[in-house]
Structure formats: structure tokens, C-alpha cells
Structure 1
């Protein structure tokens, strides 16, 4: 018999939804059958699966060890997460820097080259680092790994560095995803482009991503094509290198679409240096686009559970290469 005590990372889920995730090898029909036969109970009573789970609820699963192992499969969060004994090797990328951490979130500065999420099983990603970090810190978040796995909330391209929001808890994931979806979270990037930009610009347009080419295309006017998404990008010049004809920019993403900053700046004749895909110049020792999310700002109207970050701004240092062009 297996007992599961519900924590805050599962509270609010329907019982049947939780069981389908917890026992991935079992069909929905099998789960409902086990509920009817009271082989699975909720707080010592028969349940039909529609119940909403609350913190401290107790689920009991009356399976033999063999049956439980069959339906549980290799879904144990700790087994899949890696372990402290076998640390993830990030040496070829550089260290991930923790900019801020509380009970719900971590703001992690991702180095260039590291994937935000795996694209194949062999990949190492920021998600892998997150679980490894929580285990090494003996974080409270690891107590629920069997039923909830912490994960990143937003992504950066492999060759874009900077702050990524990671959720340690389900409430954290829900609140951060709501902020991202409603565009109430301000994200600022620094980049270096060819040419001289002297005034702030507010760009609008329509973006389409060709998945096969992994490249986006932008039109200034509405193409009346459902494949295109509306985009907005705010650009502010920071400093200019006259000899090299390069401008450092601060860019605020109003909408967040793949390659948006890179393609939008290229579309007005100012591609990012190092960004060969969108027409950027190549410089010695710069083998990727210079784009870095260095600052994020949280809104003032966040719930009490997130008072630690309410209205606050968080920054991380730019890599040295950004300043080298302006020394």
C-alpha cells in the first residue's frame, strides 16, 4: 500500500488528473475502476476522481509492489532528476548564477550555449540544472519531486544568455505563467547592433516562424495570414561606438515571440552582431548573437504570497564581451 500526502504543489488539482500523472502507465479506465473498487481512496473514503485535492489530503493506493511499479514506471521525479552524487557538468558553458531565490521561484542567469529545455534526451538543459541545484541545497521543493517537478517558466534561445524564471512550487509556476501571459512582467535585454541608433523606437509588426528553417520572418503591415502573430518591441539606445559603428541597445519585449528581437532589429537594418542568421556581422571571438536578458521587473499588484518580489527589480551583470566593444 502506498500513501501520498498532498502538499501545496498539488492542491487544487482534480484527483483523477493527479492520478493519471502519478501513474503514467495506467489507463484512465483502469484508474476509475480502481477508484470504484476502493483500491484507491481519498481520506479513507471512496472517491470518483472529480474531487479537488486540498493540502494535507491523504491518498491511499492498495496495489501490490509489482503492480505499483508497473504503473508508476520510471516517473519518479527524483530518479529522473539526476542526483547530487552525479552533478551536471556545465563547465563548457559556464556557471548558472542564482540572481534571486525564495520559496516559490528562482531567477537564474543562464550562460550562452545552454539550452533552456531539452531538445533530445541526451541534452543538458537549465531544467536539469534546476533539479540538481535544489537537490544539492536540500531544498524543501525536493520533497514533492514525486508529484511535482520544478521547471522553468520562460525560455531563452540557446545562444541568448541572461535571466530565466524558474518555478520551485506550483503556486510559483501559476503566478509566473499568469504574469508572462498577461504581459505584466517587464523583461529587458541588452544587445549590440550595427549602425548608429540615436533615438528610442517602438516597433510593431507581424511575425511568422518557419519551423523547418528555424527562422522567423517579419512584415510591417498585417498580412492577413493566421500564421503571423502581432509583435511589439521597445528599443532605447544606450551608447555608440563611432569607430566601429556599433550601438548598444536596451530592448524591452512587449510581446515575446521566438527570435523577435533579432528579426525585428534586422528588419530595420540594424542586425545584432554575431547573428549570422539575421544578417549580423561576425567579429573575432564572437560566435553567437550578443543578446542578454539582464533585468526583469515585477508589478506592484502581486498576491501576498509573492510580497518578497512585489514591485521589485532584479539585475544580473552583462558578460565582459559587451563592454569590450565600448572600452
Structure 2
């Protein structure tokens, strides 16, 4: 028999969802079968899948040790000592600056440097997270940026904050603002509301059975056949900005998936090796996060992106993005 004592980062989860994480290598049938057969007990009583865990609860596993070890969640070991570039942090939240050409999460079998592991390693080094003491929780980001998109990642250091942030994003209490340059001179601000669906080649297209996508676009400057646009994500779909612009007949410079090859070659010669899309600002209006309520955080694009914008539009990009009235 093995005991698991529930801590604050496990509290509030349904027991079946906790066990899905704890036994990450086990099929779901294994978990529900052992709950049904009373091989898993909560506070010495029969456990039901929908039971909500509380701090101090004790789960007892009447399962062979070798079976537990075979299916148990593995402890993730630090792969490198590279630090994240931290924009802001407190005891609950950490904002990380993600550069171009870095993954948000490692999405392949072989290890690749990524923003999430850097953040977790940083919290381990600071003594704020101990993976060997946690049963199911791991610090996480609540937003995701494509490899070729730079910007601000919002991280949660504990389960309660993770839940609060996810709820805040769902309720539009967290705003995410981007800056982009598109080919063509756009005259007026516009919104795009479409349903998006992913195709087999990982391209998002308009589809009646896709997920609703809502995006606001504001024109900041236009010159020399290009437009500088600020973007407010109302929803958060894959490739939402790029696919929404494509629907309007517009494309981001440097975008190899949705853009123009001729335009991309032109700007590649100027040193732009990715799409010109940067998440420059996040705003918080969540009552539960008193340190952040009413605050905004700005991260300017890299030097190359800034110089391209300033050369095309003859503006001070930092001055424009620090204006509080864009959205």
C-alpha cells in the first residue's frame, strides 16, 4: 500500500483528474477500474471519480509497487541552466519574454530548448518549485506563442493561480496585444469574426464547423505600401491573427505559411527571418490577482523588428506602443 498526501497544488482537483496526471503512463481504464474495485481509497473510504480533493486528504493505493512505478508520472529533470528573460514576477505569477525561434513548450520526442523548461528550471533554482514534492502540479504558461512569434508568456507558479488565470482569459479579464506589419495600405480599423478549423498541413482555414475566432485590428501607420497594425485577441485560436488577416486578403511580412514568398524574400534580405508578429503587451483585470489588477506590461520587439518598422513608417515604435490608448 502506498499513501499520497494532498497539498495545496493538488487541492481542488477531481480525484480522477489528479490520478490521470499521477499515473501519466497508465490507460484511463486502469484508473477507473481501480477506483471501482476500491483499490484506491480517499481518507479510508471508497473514492468516486468526481470526489474533490482538499489539502490534507490522504489517497491510499492498494496496488503493487512495481505497477505504481511503471505508470507513475516521471520527475522532469533540468536539461539546461539557461535562465528565462523575466519581465515581471511575484509569488504567484511570472511573465517571461519569449524571443523568436524559441518553442513555448517542447513538442517533440527529442529535447529542444523551450521557454517552459527554462521557467521551471528557474523556479527550481529559486526554491519556489520542487518537482519531487509535487504529485501532479507543474508550473505552466496559460498562453502560447508560435516558435516564430516573440512576446510575453504568462506563467502560473501554483495551481490556484493557474486556475484563476485560465478563468480570467476565458472571461476576457486578460488582454493580449500584438504588433504586426502587413503588405498593403489599410485605411480603417477592422474586426474579423470567423470560425477557424485546422487542415492536415497545419493551416487554419475558415469553416462553418470550426471554432469561433474574434480579433480586433487597429491601424497605427501606413506608408510605402505597408501598414503597421496593433491587434487585440478576443479569443485564442491557433494562428488566429495570421488566418484572420488572410481572410481579409492581407498577409504579414515574413510569414512563410500564410504570406507572400516575394515579400518574404525582400525582408529576409533585410535581416527579418520570421513573420513580423510580436505580442508586445498584456493587461490584467482579475480581481483575485490584486498585485496585477489594472496593470499592463510592455515588451518591445527586438532591434531588427523595431528598425524595420521605424524605417518603413518613419515613427518611434517605442513611443507608439507605450501609448495607453491603443486598446
TM-score range, shorter chain: 0.7 to 0.9
Aligned counterpart for 2:102 among listed residues 88, 99, 114: 114
Q: 5+ residue gaps in structure 2?
A: 312-327
State the match for 1:308 in structure 2: 291
Q: Which residue of 2 aligns with 1:294?
A: 280
Give the TM-score normalised by the residue count of structure 1.
0.80
The residue aligned with 1:9 is: 9
Q: TM-score, structure 2 length as denominator? A: 0.80
Partner Cα distance (2:148, 2:161) in 1 = 26
Structure 1's unaligned 5+ residue stretches are 90-94, 219-224
The answer (yes or no) to whether the contact 1:192–1:322 under 8 Å persists in 2 is no
Question: How many residue pairs end up in the alignment?
Answer: 298
Verify: 1:206 aligned to 2:160, yes or no: no
What are the residue-to-residue correspondences of 1:84-163 with 2, within 5 Å? 86-87=79-80, 96-124=84-112, 125-140=114-129, 142=131, 144-163=133-152
**2:208 partner SS:** coil
Give the CA deviation at 1:290: 0.8
- Judged with a 3 Å threshold, the aligned counterparts in structure 2 of structure 1 residues 20 and 32 are, in CA distance, closer, same or farther, namely farther
Deviation at 1:27, TM superposition (A): 3.9
Measured against aligned partners, the alpha-carbon deviations of 1:116-136 in whole angstroms (never above 9, x if no partner) come to: 233322153333223222222
Distance of 1:133 and 1:181 partners within structure 2? 28
Correspondence 1:30 to 2:23: no
**1:48 is aligned to 2:47:** yes
Contact 1:88 1:128 in 2 (8 A): no
Query: Structure 1 residue 141: deviation in Å?
Result: 6.0
CA RMSD of aligned residues (A): 2.7
Q: Is the 8 A contact 2:184 2:225 kept in 1?
A: yes
1:82 to 74, 77, 87: 77
Shift in alpha-carbon separation, 1:289–1:62, aligned structure 2, 3 A: same
